[in-house]
Chain A
């Protein structure tokens, strides 16, 4: 246990302060659907030319699925996402499809152990439409996106799944960043409380400086103990920061969590955004959020240019 005073001295941001000082005053409620719905996010990113995974198709109604077999026939890999699913629920990654003109002989290879028959696949999509994975069970839509490949940088330090970089941006200033590495115990998922590894990143250099697993400091990935994590430099770091900063100017959400994946060919792509980013990032960095956020409130009066904001962050946070 740590004392209140000690936490304050280390400028740790608590949940109450996060809500009362940052989320409530700086994030407009009206803008939330833009980040909570992956299809709306994707449309927004497209309109501002911010790189993100390409949308292959959208399914809004059960009737759309009649022609689905024909539409997808040319594809071998893609990702199925419920537009309003939370914390990665309902996402289905398709590695391969054995297409056949006969629907009954079409098999879909996913992360699951057994291959899916096409009718099972259709059933899965209708589950998404009926709201099985959406927040509060409302009707939902299905987003079909291209499958991303993993940047070779992550090959030696990530178990299955897709590692992503989370950047907290406040009023256009990148404030803190971490990379989330899935582990065997997290089942390939990227959430820290599910057992993923969180690595804090030095904003100036893009170097990993700390790693945390289940609230404990570690030096190495539990599944790949041969590689030391600290000191590794995230590729395309400057672009990552630039893309994150741009995202915070898209809408009236000024305290924003941006999740970025690195594609070997396309570079940083915005996977999704979060209007209520969590506080675990402080653990990964062993640094409090409160001080940089307060600093931004002062600096945002003087600095308006995105590049200057990024430079200020790199030098000061």
Chain B
């Protein structure tokens, strides 16, 4: 029997190690989701003028001119967070696209996740080809006659003796890139034409206008550039706004960034916010301010579909066990429960090695789930109230001489009332909204089991022991809560569910532990010491 146990234990402990080694070194898969440094979250925050009700906010989100494509990064996901308070607004101080008016009312926060995208893929090409026919990319309206004349003269000087559109565009591009000086105070096309100096936007507009004049569809877009470490030191920020021109030549859109001398190629450091700044400006007109915040994405941005396909290519066998095959709601459930077996290892450790007493066996784990389901502050304060209720109910209900079942039922009624009161309170304090958690039946089920256990324990063991056990239960469930909120570990186990065998192996080992519990060292602290010489009272 003993050998069987040790065999199972070794299999449980060694198999996960072997599979992880195999995946990492033979299949060359990433085990821990890599921190994708070239993938970014962009948060756009905007406050809308004259907003009447909150519900309209959601529709507005759709009106945001999100980029359909970019040279480097493409929008992966657009999320709207209602009524969030902006804690931090990061941007360049001179950015004309950002105005700071941080009032909370009708503030909308968009979270945009981008991922890598190749500018020249066929997919992008098709989409761009459609835009090309749009006459607005050839229009020069908005430029006065005087400016138009001077623009024409400049154009003639630049593109003379050139026949193809591509060659013309190159000449225009390098004129702007090489001859025009960066001067933030000059913000008009005319400055660029006459003085050969202008800010980024004016340069981009001039480039676009010159291209349009020569029959090349063009548009000015803007985006955010992630700076390298040297630039970060220089500008004291991690990213800055950049303007660029897209021109349609030979059946494809080419990205042009004159101040960086990038012609037709943009690397992954450039994130496009809008490919058409005119449309974006129109969007801005309806809003008080827009601020942009960029931060790196924490986790592997691969979607489950891609993940599964990649796994299937590398190893068809492993892809069979992948939890990515499930729909997102089911995945969310697995993501939630995948750490529970390790929570039980924690629990066993606390009980067997340390010697902390808890209500029932899985009560602490259930309470942990309760905390996770609501929020720690809410869950803990609710539970605290329930414990107070548990202690005080005896004094009151004992006098009424009630039978056990109706008595417990009354307790449950009070618990649900408490839950309602606390939920209303938490909602009005904004506690629930901030944590983004919702309430459902699940916590009530857990508390029901808790209050029953608690009452029985109280009757059988008395107040002091109940208090001790309550504290023990809280300690264990709090510790488990912090373990189970460890996001990376969760994602790691989700990607490698066979590691759960490790939890079984560890529990087998803990179950075989025969040594003393830590708290027994205190219980028997005076053991064997000489008998008292002093006589007590």
Q: Name A residues whose Cβ lies closer than 8 Å to a Cβ of B.
A: 1-4, 6-8, 10, 12, 14-17, 20-21, 86-87, 89, 120, 123, 126-127, 130-133, 135-137, 193-194, 210, 215-220, 222, 225, 282-283, 286
Residues of B456-485 contacting chain A, CB below 8 A: 456, 459-462, 465
Q: Are A17 and B462 in contact (CB under 8 A)?
A: no
CB closest residue in chain A, given B407: A132
Q: Are B527 and A16 in contact (CB under 8 A)?
A: no
Q: Name B residues whose Cβ lies closer than 8 Å to a Cβ of A.
A: 352, 355, 401, 403-405, 452, 456, 459-462, 465, 512-517, 520-528, 531-532, 535-537
Min CB distance, B448 to chain A, in Å? 14
CB closest residue in chain B, given A20: B514
- Give the distance in Å from the alpha carbon of A186 to the alpha carbon of B492 in the complex: 53
CB-CB < 8 A to A14: which residues of B?
A: 514-517, 520
Q: Given A14-B520, A15-B520: A130 and B405 within 8 A (CB)?
A: yes
Q: Are B521 and A12 in contact (CB under 8 A)?
A: no
Q: Which of A16, A130, A215 contacts B526 (CB 8 A)?
A: A215
Q: Are A194 and B462 in contact (CB under 8 A)?
A: yes
Q: Which of B401, B404, B513, B516 contacts A131 (CB 8 A)?
A: B404
**What is the total of A-B residue contacts with beta carbons within 8 Å?**
101
Q: Given A15-B355, A137-B456: A2 and B525 within 8 A (CB)?
A: yes
Q: Are A1 and B527 in contact (CB under 8 A)?
A: no
- Give the distance in Å from the alpha carbon of A6 to the alpha carbon of B520 in the complex: 12
Q: Are A1 and B525 in contact (CB under 8 A)?
A: yes
Q: List 7 A-B contacts (CB under 8 A).
A: A2-B521, A16-B515, A17-B515, A89-B459, A133-B459, A137-B452, A219-B535
Q: Which of B452, B513, B527, B532 contacts A12 (CB 8 A)?
A: B527
CB-CB < 8 A to A137: which residues of B?
A: 404, 452, 456
Min CB distance, A83 to chain B, in Å? 15
CB-CB < 8 A to B520: which residues of A?
A: 7, 12, 14-15
Q: Are A216 and B516 in contact (CB under 8 A)?
A: no
Q: A17-B515, A222-B537 are in contact. List 9 more A-B contacts (CB 8 A).
A: A2-B526, A2-B527, A16-B517, A17-B516, A127-B401, A127-B404, A130-B403, A132-B403, A219-B535
- Find the residue from B516, B522, B532, B535 having the highest chain A CB count within 10 A: B516
Q: Are B516 and A4 in contact (CB under 8 A)?
A: yes
Q: Are B521 and A7 in contact (CB under 8 A)?
A: yes
CB closest residue in chain B, given A213: B536
CB closest residue in chain B, given A15: B517
Min CB distance, A128 to chain B, in Å? 10
- Give the distance in Å from the alpha carbon of A66 to the alpha carbon of B460 in the complex: 29
- Find the residue from B403, B523, B524 having the highest chain A CB count within 10 A: B524
Q: Are A10 and B528 in contact (CB under 8 A)?
A: yes
- Give the distance in Å from the alpha carbon of A298 to the alpha carbon of B127 in the complex: 87
- Give the distance in Å from the alpha carbon of A210 to the alpha carbon of B532 in the complex: 10
Q: Are A4 and B515 in contact (CB under 8 A)?
A: yes
- Find the residue from B459, B514, B527, B532 having the highest chain A CB count within 10 A: B527
Min CB distance, B73 to chain A, in Å? 57
CB-CB < 8 A to A136: which residues of B?
A: 456
Min CB distance, A314 to chain B, in Å? 23
Q: Are B536 and A220 in contact (CB under 8 A)?
A: yes
CB-CB < 8 A to A286: which residues of B?
A: 527-528
Q: Are A130 and B404 in contact (CB under 8 A)?
A: yes
CB closest residue in chain A, given B453: A136
- Give the distance in Å from the alpha carbon of A127 to the alpha carbon of B526 in the complex: 42
CB-CB < 8 A to A4: which residues of B?
A: 515-516, 521
Q: Given A20-B514, A136-B456: A215 and B523 within 8 A (CB)?
A: yes
Q: Are A16 and B513 in contact (CB under 8 A)?
A: yes
CB closest residue in chain A, given B522: A1
Q: Are B524 and A12 in contact (CB under 8 A)?
A: yes
CB closest residue in chain A, given B529: A217
Q: Are A87 and B528 in contact (CB under 8 A)?
A: no
CB-CB < 8 A to A87: which residues of B?
A: 460-461
Please name the 5 residue pairs, one residue from A and one from B, whose CB atoms are nearest each other, closest first.
A14-B516, A217-B532, A17-B514, A132-B404, A10-B528
Min CB distance, B401 to chain A, in Å? 6
Min CB distance, A141 to chain B, in Å? 15
Q: Which of B460, B465, B512, B513 contacts A135 (CB 8 A)?
A: B460
Min CB distance, A285 to chain B, in Å? 10
- Give the distance in Å from the alpha carbon of A1 to the alpha carbon of B512 in the complex: 25
CB-CB < 8 A to B460: which residues of A?
A: 86-87, 89, 133, 135
Q: Are B537 and A225 in contact (CB under 8 A)?
A: yes
Q: Are A123 and B401 in contact (CB under 8 A)?
A: yes
CB-CB < 8 A to A283: which residues of B?
A: 523-524, 527
- Give the distance in Å from the alpha carbon of A282 to the alpha carbon of B520 in the complex: 12
CB-CB < 8 A to A133: which residues of B?
A: 459-460
CB closest residue in chain B, given A123: B401
Q: Which of B461, B515, B517, B526 contacts A217 (CB 8 A)?
A: B526
- Find the residue from A12, A14, A130, A222 having the highest chain B CB count within 10 A: A14
- Give the distance in Å from the alpha carbon of A210 to the alpha carbon of B530 in the complex: 11
Q: Are B532 and A132 in contact (CB under 8 A)?
A: no
CB-CB < 8 A to B514: which residues of A?
A: 14, 16-17, 20-21
Q: Which of B401, B524, B532, B537 contacts A7 (CB 8 A)?
A: B524
CB-CB < 8 A to A219: which residues of B?
A: 532, 535-536
CB-CB < 8 A to B528: which residues of A?
A: 6, 10, 286
- Give the distance in Å from the alpha carbon of A14 to the alpha carbon of B353 in the complex: 11
- Give the distance in Å from the alpha carbon of A115 to the alpha carbon of B355 in the complex: 43
- Find the residue from B462, B514, B522, B523 having the highest chain A CB count within 10 A: B523
CB-CB < 8 A to B461: which residues of A?
A: 87
Q: Which of A16, A89, A135, A222 contacts B516 (CB 8 A)?
A: A16
CB-CB < 8 A to A193: which residues of B?
A: 465
Min CB distance, B537 to chain A, in Å? 7
CB-CB < 8 A to A2: which residues of B?
A: 521, 524-527
CB-CB < 8 A to B523: which residues of A?
A: 215, 283
CB-CB < 8 A to B405: which residues of A?
A: 130
CB closest residue in chain B, given A8: B516
- Give the distance in Å from the alpha carbon of A3 to the alpha carbon of B518 in the complex: 10
CB-CB < 8 A to B403: which residues of A?
A: 126-127, 130, 132
CB-CB < 8 A to B401: which residues of A?
A: 120, 123, 127
Q: Are B459 and A132 in contact (CB under 8 A)?
A: yes
- Give the distance in Å from the alpha carbon of A126 to the alpha carbon of B402 in the complex: 10
Min CB distance, B234 to chain A, in Å? 59
Q: Are A218 and B532 in contact (CB under 8 A)?
A: yes
- Find the residue from A7, A127, A133, A283 having the highest chain B CB count within 10 A: A7
- Give the distance in Å from the alpha carbon of A84 to the alpha carbon of B91 in the complex: 71
CB closest residue in chain A, given B523: A215
CB-CB < 8 A to A8: which residues of B?
A: 516
- Give the distance in Å from the alpha carbon of A283 to the alpha carbon of B514 in the complex: 20
CB-CB < 8 A to B459: which residues of A?
A: 89, 132-133
CB closest residue in chain A, given B510: A16
Min CB distance, B160 to chain A, in Å? 93
Min CB distance, B81 to chain A, in Å? 47
CB closest residue in chain A, given B513: A16
Min CB distance, B50 to chain A, in Å? 62
- Give the distance in Å from the alpha carbon of A286 to the alpha carbon of B405 in the complex: 44
CB closest residue in chain A, given B461: A87
CB closest residue in chain A, given B352: A16
CB-CB < 8 A to B536: which residues of A?
A: 218-220, 222
Min CB distance, A177 to chain B, in Å? 18
CB-CB < 8 A to A3: which residues of B?
A: 521
Min CB distance, A300 to chain B, in Å? 20
- Give the distance in Å from the alpha carbon of A220 to the alpha carbon of B531 in the complex: 13
- Give the distance in Å from the alpha carbon of A10 to the alpha carbon of B524 in the complex: 11
- Give the distance in Å from the alpha carbon of A130 to the alpha carbon of B520 in the complex: 37
- Give the distance in Å from the alpha carbon of A216 to the alpha carbon of B520 in the complex: 15
